Structure 1
Amino acid sequence: MSREPIVRNVVIIGAGLAGLTAAHAMRRHGIEPLVLEKKSDIGATWERRHPQLTLNTHRSLSSLPGLSYPPGTGAFPKRSAVIAHLKAFRDRHRFEIRYGVEVLSLAKTDGRFVIATNVGPLHAKSVVVATGRDAVVSVPQWKGVESFTGRILHAADFGDARTYVGRSVLVIGGGNSGFDVLNHLSRVATGPVWLALRRSPGLLPKRLGGFAVHRLSPLMATLPIPLVDRLIGWTQRIAFGDLTRHGFPPGRFDAATRLTENDVAIAVDDGAVKAIKRGQIAVVAEVTEFSSSSVVLADGSTVAPDIVIAAVGYASALPPMLDQLDAFDGLGRPRLRRWLGETSVPGLWLVGMQPSLTSYFRQAHREAEQAARSIAKMQVA
């Protein structure tokens, strides 16, 4: 006689900051979730990033629920501080976390989810996917790129900035990742550095007159998006002047719109613009193709970097995981019933997949609370 499988109330996939936030919200609403993490410990994604990494969001808006950073933490916490923060939160709450469990796919049968993993199937009434927006790196296959004899890497693999001393570097992409790389390169004695831009980025200074600009984000989040577009554009002009004089394409007042509609994060400057103005970094046209020793740009010119850093974004791990569920629209975006993470598949929630004007932490908390309230009501009913 076969035994009926144990069905968990809630399974959370991912034990990063979104998954831990979701677990905390579930417990607050009387639900003890099972959390699955494919790595051997939490913080692995942060450990992979380069050692100079700091948050672009202020400490006061970048913490897990009910836990502050220790005294002495900088206004923009370093990678090591974030990892310690995650582990302190986990140790405080002692959630049920199973490490080394990779979710391969989700299916739904008879009103419950069947979760296929590398250690066997699990069953759940509700599932929260909290694997993050940047689980998979994205590198375009430019024409001729296979013949290039230099080094090509993604911004996620930037490493220690000191290893670029004396090297010529082409950074492709002026988004959040691209400017993070440039901010660090601006502090070391590199060879020539180029920034290839397709369009002018939405760009804010980390500080303006000593004030951390990000601290205004909760106020900005209450305003109409078109007004926020204008405010960001004006702040950019006040902070940096006319960037077209330094090779930037003409700017557009649409940074907040692109964030909310296309998930394009707003870039943050912490030294790169000064390096551009003094000639340490040159802004060039977008990349069209590669040859064995050079990169061809849209205006027909070429550059010959030792290293090319593709700062062109990330992708989520959702499509292969949710392939058996009708959870995506024709453009490959999750079908959401509401903007706070509820999908078109009953019982399936996404937490930490959408950017916001405030912070990844704040947005994940809002989505987790919405999911927990709804799941608790559903289970009572």
Structure 2
Amino acid sequence: MTATAAVPAPFTRDDYAARMRRAVDAARAAGLDGLLVTPGPDLVWLTGYRPTALTERLTALVLTADREPTLLVPTLERPDAEAAEGAAAATLVDWTDGADPYAAASALLRPDGRYAVSDSAWAMHLLGLQAALPASRYHAMTARLPMLRAVKDADELARLDAAARAADATYEEILGVRFAGRRETEVAADLADLLRGFGHEQVDFTVVGSGPNGANPHHEAGERVIEPGDCVVLDFGGLMSGYGSDTSRTVCVGEPTDEVREVHEVVRQAQQAGVAAVRPGVACQEVDRAARRVIAEAGYGERFIHRTGHGIGLTTHEPPYMIEGEERPMVPGMCFSVEPGVYLPGRFGVRIEDIVTVTEDGGRRLNTTNRGLRTVA
């Protein structure tokens, strides 16, 4: 087993500056005065800064059209912030322990301003800002700027491609591992080791749902011993060079029954239909509709109990979401999963998942492993 990709070149100051400008433009288009970005994926995307200290001390990137980007940090964390590549594209302002961080932040904001704020912002920070500026208003980032990070540039796509290739290599290797007679947790540990071996710096999940456990889409690998004849859902991923992987395949321990073959083929066709629906200008919900239609027509509509997909990037789940009611059009550069499933409680489940990116004339799978029903020992 060898790593599949070299470490990519880091993002530059110019990359981060362009993202900040894009964020300000998006806020203006949404009728907002700016953004308040607290620690989390949005801050990493905009500055490359990932605070390591506890976040009870206010850290916030302030982006508005009427001033240069400003990163407010606790004094003791300023050296770490200065080391982040994107910090060079912002003015750093610090505050010391014992001072009022909300007074420092309010000096950067309009008293009656309207701002998008990170979904992960601590309530005490938001309440502190509201107390300092009672006429100000705040809106959840996902609610007002859901597509801010949705469209990936070429460098981001390259990272997602590499992460997907590493996940694919992991799947090919796990097919040679013994399943029967081992606990789900043991196979999950193998998946985690393989992901790391192929270049992931972080493993976020290794779902191994055998037999009846496969009927629970978010089953965590448990102590159940995998048996011959089991259908096993494998769903795994993590971060590689900061960007996510996420893929699912369903295998059978030994020869599958006719019913397992039938359900698996329905899900395979549904997944193909969902991918075929990907093209620019089409509403995201059409991916869900296409996949769901195949499953409903096969008589399993009530057993497909989750959305068809979710965006992926710096986090495994982020906008856009492939679900009924999401009318935003797909745009080249968007990346998301297409992962229909059928779940038969008490018996087994089947899910097939690829990450797909929107191209100029359709969609392209980042995951390319065989989607047929594979058998394992």
TM-score norm. by structure 1 comes to: 0.26
Normalised by the length of structure 2, the TM-score is: 0.26
Higher relative contact order structure (alpha carbons within 8 Å, sequence separation ≥ 6): 1
